[in-house]
Amino acid sequence: MNVLVTGGAGFIGTHTCVELLKSNHSILIIDNFENSHPEAVKRVEAITGKKVNFRQGDVRDIAFIKKQITDFKCEAVMHFAGLKAVGESCQNPLKYYDYNVAGTLSLLQAMQSCNVKKLVFSSSATVYGAPKRLPIVEDTELHTTNPYGRSKLIVEDILRDLYTSDPSWHIAILRYFNPVGAHKSGLIGEDPIGIPNNLMPIVAQVASNRREKLSIWGNDYPTKDGTGIRDYIHIVDLAIGHLKALESLNVAQCNAYNLGTGNGYSVLEVIKMFEHVSNQKIEYEIASRRDGDVAECYADPLYAMQQLDWKAERGLREMCEDMWNWQIKNPTGY
Ligand code: WQD
């Protein structure tokens, strides 16, 4: 299938492109490099030995998107392009609504005018906010606590409204938990521009002496060791989940799926595992809680397992090993 991949040069996009190419799909990456690197596209070609079609551009440019869909004879779209830092979204909400909501609207309008109606959308477990029950199932009440999460929920609602108005759409909404790790080759990985927000990249930078120490945002949560618990999922498992979601779009639908492992690990457990695989001491200090953080968040992955015939296979050790391999091979990223 000819697949248009927006944001395909990013962390999740590149890993998904590798899996698409391995499954003999043809891909066209569109990226504006706001939060990614051109080198990443070359690395995808190096891993797969296949040519990657690529156009630099912005999903908010409807004419540009229409031209790419037409020229590439696109049959489906995987939409990763967007911004994802919770803290930044609180400081600059308009930027997040412009990129994440207006960008998706432009993409959908271009797809509709070209009669291309197969879409895999990159959503987030952030749409669940502070879950009242764990593990989280897909029909859990949706509520968000920050502009980033709200931008994802607004797009989900747009997609559900679109499908209600025109049930010829084939839509899979994928709610990511905490994607971490890297491709086994160490050629592609997470390379946040600027100061990373997420735990794993920070731990990797401390282990490689790029950062002095980690601040643990709170150790007084009602959890097994007081630190926050999250459902970390290996990026390759996540990428394979996208492939399975695409393959499920052979019938008209609009479904949301949790892409998580169903296992929760605490900050201290992640630190301990990372120290084990890297043989490096991770220096840390205990700091006060971060605004907006929840104590625990992990998925019930059963629905995705049943509907997509998909299950995360890789555990925390492999996530840390592959993250460390990426870090030491690319100490300053791409
Ligand atoms: C994980 C745990 C922190 C950094 C965010 C987004 C979510 C998704 C994934 C996009 C928490 C603790 C972290 C640090 C720490 N992104 N931590 N010190 O907050 O679960 O989710 O990223 O879809 O939408 O909200 O991930 O990696 O930031 O935090 O103690 O320097 O690590 O408190 O318990 P989070 P995270």
- Walk me through the domains of the chain, giving residue ranges and CATH numbers: 2-181+232-262+298-312 (3.40.50.720)
126 lines ligand 1 (CB under 6 A): yes
10-residue averages of pLDDT along the chain (334 residues) = 98 98 97 93 98 96 98 98 92 97 98 98 96 96 94 98 98 98 98 85 95 97 98 98 98 97 98 98 97 93 98 98 97 92
Residues 6+ apart with CB under 8 A from 148: 83, 84, 85, 86, 88, 89, 96, 100, 124, 126
**pLDDT value at position 292?**
85
228 lines ligand 1 (CB under 6 A): yes
Helix, strand, coil percentages for the chain (3-state, nearest 5): 40, 20, 40
CA distance 144 to 118: 27
CA distance 154 to 71: 30
267 lines ligand 1 (CB under 6 A): yes
Please give the single-letter amino acid code of residue 16. T
Distance 128 CA to ligand 1 centre (A): 14
**pLDDT value at position 197?**
85
Residues 6+ apart with CB under 8 A from 308: 241, 244, 245, 248, 257
Distance 21 CA to ligand 1 centre (A): 30
User: Does residue 148 carry a catalytic annotation?
Assistant: yes
> pTM score > 0.85 for this model?
yes
**pLDDT value at position 35?**
87
Distance 240 CA to ligand 1 centre (A): 22
CA distance 82 to 59: 9
